[in-house]
Amino acid sequence: MVEGIGIVGGGQLGRMLTEAAHPLGSHVTVLDPTPDAPATKAGAEQLLGGLHDPEAIARLAAATDVVTWEIEHINADALEKLVRDGFNVQPSPTTLKTIQDKLVQKTMLREAGLPVADFLALDTGPSSQAHGQQLREVTQALGGAVIFKTRRGGYDGRGNHVFTGDVDQLDTALGGDWVDLYAEKIIPFEKELSVLAARDVYGNIAVYPTVETVHEDNICHTVVFPANLRPALAERAQDIAHETMRQLEGAGVFAIEMFVTESEVLINEIAPRVHNSGHHTIEANVTSQFEQHIRAITGMPLGSTAPRSPAAAMVNVLGTREEPLNRVGLDRVLAEPDTHPHYYGKSSRPARKIGHITVLGDRSEDVLDRARRAREALVI
C-alpha cells in the first residue's frame, strides 16, 4: 500500500498535489530548499534540501513509498540511481531525462513519427566568433525564421532566443554562453493547445479534453476549455496525445503542449508532470489533474477525465511588486458566479505566479471574459 508520497519540489504544484493526496489517505513529504515551501501550508512535511542534491533525494526516497516531482529541473541521475536501488519512482526518471534535454526530447518524438517543428543540433562551443558561419548554415537549412533554444533548464520562455541574423546580438542575449543550444524553425501558429494525459502503473492511459492556452511573456496566462478547433485538428490533437503517451514511461500526469497551424498540429514540448494548463480540472473535470497524478503514482486506477461543465477558463494571477500577499478585490471576485480563486500562500513579487482563478460556464468566450475581469478585480 503506497501511503507516503515524496515530491521533489514544494511549490504551488506540490501544494495542489498535497491537497489532492490527503483525502485519499496519503501523506506527503516535499523536498525543497526554501523553508516553509507553499506545500507545507497545505500540510505537507518538508525535507530541506536542493532539487539537485543526490543525498537529499535519497533521504526523500528513504522516508516515503514513492518519489515523484512537481518540476523537471531536478537531478534525474539521482532518481535513476534510486530506481536501480529498488525504490519506486514515478514516472520514469529515464523519461524525465529525455524530456529535460529538449534536443533529445524532439529527436525522440521525431523518431516516433510524431509531428514536431524542424530542428537541428548545434555543435556549439565557448565563443560566438566561431559560430557566425554555422548559424547562417543552420538558418538556411531550416529554411525560415529560427529560434535558438537552450537544451536544458529553459522555463517559461527563458533560454529561448529568436535569431534575427545578427550574431553579436545573439551572443549578447546568451551572455556569451553558447553551450547546449539547438536550432528550431519558428512555426507561425494560429493557436497553442495543451492536452493533459495520465498513465497508471498497469499501463492504462486517460487523456483530458484539449484546451487552448494563451501565453503572454512566455508564461501560460490563460487556459480555455473547450478549444475552438476544426474537427479534424481536434481529433488529431487527441491522437497525438495518445501516441505521445505510448512513448513515455512510468505512471503519472504529463502535459503535451502543441501548436496548431492552418493545417497541422505540432508538438511544442512535453512537461513530465502536472501543469499550469490543467489547473481548471480542479473544478471543471470529474478527476483533477492533481488527484489523477496521485492515483497514478500510488497504484490506484485512473479517474474519469470527463468535463463537469460545458466551458471553463483559467487565468494566472501574477504578482506586480515585492509585497506580502494581499487579498484586496477578492470580495468582488467571489461575488461573480461559479468563480473559483486559488491563492498559493506565496508573497507577491513581479511576474511571480501567486494564484489562479477558474471560471465555469456555458460558453468558452464568456468564461474567458469573466475570468479576465475577475483577475482585473484583484489589486495585486
292 φψ region: left (φ > 0), alpha (ψ -120 to 50), beta (else): alpha
Cell numbers given for 255: 502535459
Residue span 245-284 as binding mask against a second copy, x where in contact by CB under 8 A, dash where not: ----------------------------------------
For a second copy, which residue of 41, 73, 110, 373 counts as binding (CB under 8 A)?
Answer: 41
Residue 205 engages a second copy in binding (rule: CB under 8 A):
no
Q: How far apart are CA 192 and CA 47, in angstroms?
A: 37
Piece in contact with a second copy (CB under 8 A), picked from 62-70, 121-129, 254-262, 301-309: 301-309
* Phi, psi (degrees; rounded to nearest 5) at 210: -65, 135
Can residue 373 be called a binding residue for a second copy (CB under 8 A)? no
C-alpha cell at position 152: 536544458
DSSP state of 23: G
Q: Quote the least distance from Cβ 221 to a second copy, whole Å.
A: 19
What is the closest distance, in whole angstroms, from the C-beta atom of residue 255 to a second copy in the complex? 21
Looking at the DSSP bridge assignments, the partners of residue 181 are 150
Q: Judged by CB under 8 A, which of 111, 123, 262, 331 binds a second copy?
A: 331
Nearer CB in complex with a second copy: 161/327: 327
Those residues whose C-beta lies under 8 Å from the C-beta of residue 176, and which sit 6 or more positions away, are: 127, 128
CB of 42 to a second copy, least distance (A): 5
User: What track of x and - describes contact with a second copy for positions 340 through 359 (by CB under 8 A)?
Assistant: xxxx-x---------x----
CB of 332 to a second copy, least distance (A): 9
User: In this structure, how many other beta carbons lie within 10 angstroms of the beta carbon of residue 191?
Assistant: 17
The answer to whether the beta carbons of residues 323 and 284 sit under 8 Å apart is: no
Q: Alpha-carbon distance 341 to 253, whole Å?
A: 23
Interface residues with a second copy (CB under 8 A) are 1, 3, 19, 22-25, 40-43, 286, 295, 299-301, 303-304, 308-309, 325-328, 330-331, 334-335, 337-338, 340-343, 345, 355
